Amino acid sequence: MSNDARRTLTERVTGDLPEGIAALGDTERQFLANAIGDAKRAQRAELAAAAEESLGYVPKLLRGPVRKAVGL
């Protein structure tokens, strides 16, 4: 469990963990790892929904090019 928790948080971020973060207990590191995963997922879902909803405000003539640029 100890190595799993450390690896999970380490895999979530780029680069080596700062010493004080690496020294946290398994539970705390896992909490941070989970929170990062949750924040990523929430951000992804919100961006997708916002991109779709934005089209309603785009002038009709521009909707095609905007849809293509955003990749919708």
Partner 1 sequence: MTTDARPEVQRIARLLRVRPDQLGFLDDVDDADLIAFRGQLTSTLFDANAGVLTRLGSAAKLLPSPVLAKIAERVFGPLLCARVAGAMDPSKASEVAARLPVNFLTDVAVELDPRQVEQVVRALPNDMIVDVARVLGQREDWITLGQFVGFLGADHLTAAVDALDDTQLLRTAYTVDDVSAIPGVVDVVGTERLTALFTTAAREDLFDALLRLATHLRDDQIDSLADAIMAAERGTLGRLVTAAATCRHWDALLPIAASLPADAKAGIAESVGDLSPEVRADIMAQATSLGVYDDLGPIADALAERAA
Q: Does 17 bind partner 1 (CB under 8 A)?
A: yes
CA 19 to chain centre: 24
**Nearest distance in Å: CB 38, partner 1:** 7
Q: Does 1 bind partner 1 (CB under 8 A)?
A: no
Type and span of the H or E element at 2: helix 2-12
Q: Does 25 bind partner 1 (CB under 8 A)?
A: yes
1-4's contacts with Cβ under 8 Å and 24+ in sequence apart are 1/26, 2/26
Q: Does 6 bind partner 1 (CB under 8 A)?
A: no
CB distance 25 to 50 below 8 Å: no
Q: Does 7 bind partner 1 (CB under 8 A)?
A: no
Q: Which of 6, 8, 24, 26 binds partner 1 (CB under 8 A)?
A: 24
